[in-house]
Amino acid sequence: MAFDNFTVNVVSFSETAGDDWTIANPSVSLTITPNTGYSIDATNFSAITPLPSYVNTVVFNQNGNNIDCVITYTTPSVMPSADVLVSLCIQGYASEIPIVVVGTAVSGGLTNVSTPAPGDLPLSFSSNGEWDTSSTVFTQAVIASPGYYFVTKPNLSINQGNRKDYTITSVESTDSEGRLVQVTFSVSYKFPVDNVSGDEIVLTANAIQYYDPPVEITSYQFNSNNVINTGGETRTFTIYGIEGANWDLQCVYTPGNINIVNTSGTIDATGKAVVSVVFPATVSVNRTFTFTLTGDLASSFDTANGQTSTPFVSQYKLSVLGLVFSTTDAAVTVGPISNINYFPFVNVPRIIYTVTATSTSPFILNPTPVAKGLNWSNQGTPVPPQDFEFSMVSQEFTINNSLTIGVPSTLTATVVVSVAVAGIVDATSTLDLDDILA
């Protein structure tokens, strides 16, 4: 007999009228068979009461895919002269057998990802559902390793199987800088008529390292090699760093402990901050300007391979190079020192000095003066950087021997000097007249 998605067979046997049929047939077993595509469970079946005549008990037992319905007759049950039809009412139902899909997720190349971890793939997946329904059969998060991100979005594709039965969706996650660092895939499957196995899903992901430097001051640029002009000047102190790094710059000069820079700030999107430093002029004192840079300094500062956080630069007053005569002759009186001022470290290829002396006796030049009269002192290799470096190019002597009693004779030397480097320490060069006078 056919029911809703299952059938029950009919059992019959012959018996002699007047006999108790339970002696030979105390019970009978009916077989409940599910239709194709369905399954039945004994726990879902029961007899409807009251039980019909001749029936004592009804028991349902699972027998593989089928169910045995065991009917035990009431004893005694005497066979009448006419046929006996025992109609048993039962209640139960058959369930549609789920369609099963079985497959494997494999790696198509995973680089610099923390999830899935090495060894997580291949990974089997399976699910079941009724025909023409859909279910999520696989989910997988793909996470870039710390310090890495996905330039190209990871890909999950169907390598084996009917692509029309699969729907792949994904959710993307980015970091605070907008970099793609995670994709979570979800695979939905629409169940066909028959079971499916051997499908394959391939996951491919490649993350690359990104540059995420610490927020700090990385370096600065300032000309500390050249001394500050004696008359003062303006220079720039440029601070470089990552946007958001804090800095503070001070500059004090000594002697005097005068602060000429006191400023601070934060590096903006340009990656730098420019401070204009105005150095005042000096008249009579040498100065040292010392900078102090603080804030979010990189660890390389104040190391052998890094910059100092306290650079300094010097400034010098005008220096003097003077020329003067000397002598042991009591009749000769040397004139004052002939002084000329220089900016330190300048080069003056040609400059003229006039040096004088007077005498109560006539001046007479030695026909063969020592070193041809150019034997001025302190020429030669100086001690850098403080000493003058100079040399005498030429000189010419002019003598005016007075013929008037009581009026001294005069000696004037016109000396051409080449100053290679002006020093920062005043210097005096002397010519001994004893070497050039007779």
pLDDT digits (tens, 9 = 90+) for 245-289: 999 999 999 999 999 999 999 999 999 999 999 999 998 899 999
Q: Which residues contact 83 (CB under 8 A, 6 or more apart)?
A: none
* Nearest to 119, CA basis, from 131, 130, 110, 128: 110
Contact 152, 205 (CB under 8 A): no
Region 213-221 average pLDDT: 95
- Give φ, ψ of 373 to 5 degrees: 80, 5
CA distance 349 to 427: 17
Beta bridge partners of 125: 103
Q: Which residues contact 163 (CB under 8 A, 6 or more apart)?
A: none
The two structure tokens encoding residue 339? 């002084």
pLDDT surpassing 70 at residue 373: no
pLDDT surpassing 80 at residue 97: yes
Region 365-383 average pLDDT: 77
Provide the pLDDT for residue 48. Answer: 92
3 state DSSP class of 433: helix
The size of the chain, in residues, is 438
Average pLDDT, the chain: 93
Model pTM above 0.85: no
Provide the pLDDT for residue 325. Answer: 97
CA distance 399 to 336: 17
Provide the pLDDT for residue 372. Answer: 55
Residue 5 — pLDDT band, cuts 50, 70, 90?
confident
Taking each continuous run of H as one helix and of E as one strand, the counts in the chain are: 0, 32
% of the chain residues with pLDDT over 70: 98
* Nearest to 25, CA basis, from 58, 60, 63, 71: 71
CA distance 158 to 166: 8
Region 172-176 average pLDDT: 96
Write the Ramachandran bin of 10: left for phi over 0, alpha for psi from -120 to 50, otherwise beta. beta
| Higher local confidence (pLDDT), 39 or 340 | 340
